């Protein structure tokens, strides 16, 4: 199969990432099935997409007819096996934990046609950790998007130990066809390119915070004004979801056993009390105020 043969894409997980990945593919003409644990979660994901596209219509970037057509290409499918049976490519975007992802890949492997390629949007997990739950590790790869997928242009494509060259090329070409820019990692390692660089920066930021050198708000301000980054490390964590960064660190630690990879205390405290960032209205900052105000530990 080449990228030209891809007709139907299944996206598993209709959260922050999956819903927009599905929408981005549909905007570029693909028929997409979107799967989650319930119809309610699927509706929630599509509601967010609709709001994004309505903004584009209001700005004159697309017509209401184009919007309706793109939304019409997304089928909400709470039955994973049913969605899998017709899929040429699957993009898995469920919770960032190894076991649920392995279980999901095993189910997909059983239900998808033999030619189908299975990709994970995991932020850190290496595809070989997940692909060994299938009988098609050569057809499995990482396809790592950035939040929000309807805006961010980069996709990291990672070749696992057993991923075939054909699979890497197919995912890279599919990425281009849906209006995104691939970078290819020929060797797998946890965190890929961007998150490793980001993690190195975040580790230093948490060190400065834990040493009492500066508040997290001032560290954010320093990075934003001094390095011209659009968001400092703490504001960015809120934006992506604190649980996402927390779970990614736990998974990295499982591989490295390096205590430096464990979640920092300021992050752990907020996750444990359910302050997960923008999506819950509170994380490092409280979003009920304008501008958002820093929260205490």
Ligand X SMILES: NC(=O)c1ccc[n+]([C@@H]2O[C@H](COP(=O)([O-])OP(=O)(O)OC[C@H]3O[C@@H](n4cnc5c(N)ncnc54)[C@H](O)[C@@H]3O)[C@@H](O)[C@H]2O)c1
The catalytic residue positions are: 123, 144, 156, 195
Min dist CB 190 to ligand X, Å, is: 12
State the minimum distance, in angstroms, from the CB of residue 122 to ligand X.
Answer: 4
Rounded to a whole number of angstroms, the minimum distance from the CB of residue 138 to ligand X is: 22
Residue placing its CB nearer to ligand X in the complex, 53 or 244: 244
Give the number of residues in contact with ligand X, rule: CB under 6 A: 27
**75 is an interface residue for ligand X by CB under 6 A:** no
The enclosing H or E element of 196 equals: helix 194-210
124-163 footprint of ligand X as x/- string (CB under 6 A): ---------------------xxx----------------
30-64 per-residue burial string, b: 16 or more CB within 10 A, e: under 16: bbbbbbbeeeebbeebbebbeeebeebeeeeebee
* DSSP secondary structure string for all residues of 129-166: HHHTTSS-GGGEEEEE--SSTTT--EEEEE--TT--HH
Three-state SS at 44: helix
What's the CA angle centered on 85, arms 116 and 12, to 5 degrees?
A: 75
Report the Cα–Cα distance between both ends of the chain, in Å, rounded: 52
Closest CA to 146 of 180, 116, 178: 180
Residue 94 contacts ligand X per CB under 6 A:
yes
Burial of 69 by CB count in 10 Å (0-12 exposed, 13-18 middle, 19+ buried)? middle
Binding region for ligand X (CB under 6 A) out of 22-30, 214-222, 236-244, 252-260: 236-244
245: its two tokens? 């960064």
Residues 6+ apart with CB under 8 A from 242: 267, 270, 271, 275, 276, 277, 283, 284
- Taking CB under 6 A as the criterion, the residue among 24, 49, 86, 121 binding ligand X is 121
Residue nearest to ligand X (CB): 15
Between 163 and 240, name the residue whose CB sits nearer to ligand X. 240
Candidates 9-17, 48-56, 108-116, 226-234: pick the segment binding ligand X (CB under 6 A).
9-17
Show contacts with ligand X in window 22-51 (CB under 6 A).
Answer: 35-37, 41
Give the number of other Cβ atoms within 10 Å of residue 121's Cβ. Answer: 25
- Contact between residue 39 and residue 78 where contact means Cβ atoms under 8 Å apart: yes
For position 15 contacting ligand X by CB under 6 A, the verdict is yes
Q: Is residue 93 involved in binding ligand X (CB under 6 A)?
A: yes
Piece in contact with ligand X (CB under 6 A), picked from 13-21, 131-139, 175-183, 258-266: 13-21
Regarding 281 and contact with ligand X (CB under 6 A), the answer is no
Write out the residues near ligand X by the rule CB under 6 A. 12-18, 35-37, 41, 93-96, 100, 104, 121-123, 145-147, 240-241, 244, 248
């Amino acid at each position: 199969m080449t990228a030209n043969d891809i007709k139907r894409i299944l996206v598993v997980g209709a959260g922050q990432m999956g819903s927009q990945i599905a929408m981005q593919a549909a905007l570029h003409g693909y028929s997409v099935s979107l799967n989650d644990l319930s119809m309610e979660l699927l509706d929630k994901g599509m509601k967010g997409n609709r709001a994004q596209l309505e903004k584009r219509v209001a700005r004159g970037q697309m017509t209401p007819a184009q919007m309706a057509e793109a939304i019409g290409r997304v089928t909400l499918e709470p039955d994973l096996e049913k969605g899998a049976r017709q899929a040429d490519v699957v993009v898995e975007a469920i919770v960032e934990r190894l076991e649920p992802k392995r279980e999901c890949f095993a189910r997909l492997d059983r239900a998808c046609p033999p030619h189908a390629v299975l990709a994970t949007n995991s932020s850190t997990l290496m595809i070989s950790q997940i692909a060994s739950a299938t009988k098609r590790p050569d057809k499995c790869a990482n396809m790592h998007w950035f939040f929000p997928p309807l805006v961010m242009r980069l996709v990291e494509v990672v070749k696992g130990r057993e991923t075939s060259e054909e699979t890497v090329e197919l995912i890279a070409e599919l990425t281009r066809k849906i209006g995104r820019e691939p970078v290819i990692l020929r060797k797998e390692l946890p965190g890929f390119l961007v998150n490793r660089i980001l993690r190195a920066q975040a580790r230093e930021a948490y060190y400065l915070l834990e040493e009492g050198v500066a508040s997290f708000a001032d560290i954010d301000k320093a990075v934003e004004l001094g390095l011209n980054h659009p968001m400092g490390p703490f504001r960015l964590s809120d934006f992506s979801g604190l649980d996402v960064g927390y779970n990614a660190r736990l998974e990295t630690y499982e591989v490295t056993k390096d205590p430096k990879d464990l979640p920092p205390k300021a992050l752990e405290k907020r996750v444990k009390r359910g302050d997960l960032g923008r999506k819950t209205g509170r994380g490092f900052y409280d979003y009920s105020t304008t501008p958002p105000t820093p929260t205490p530990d």
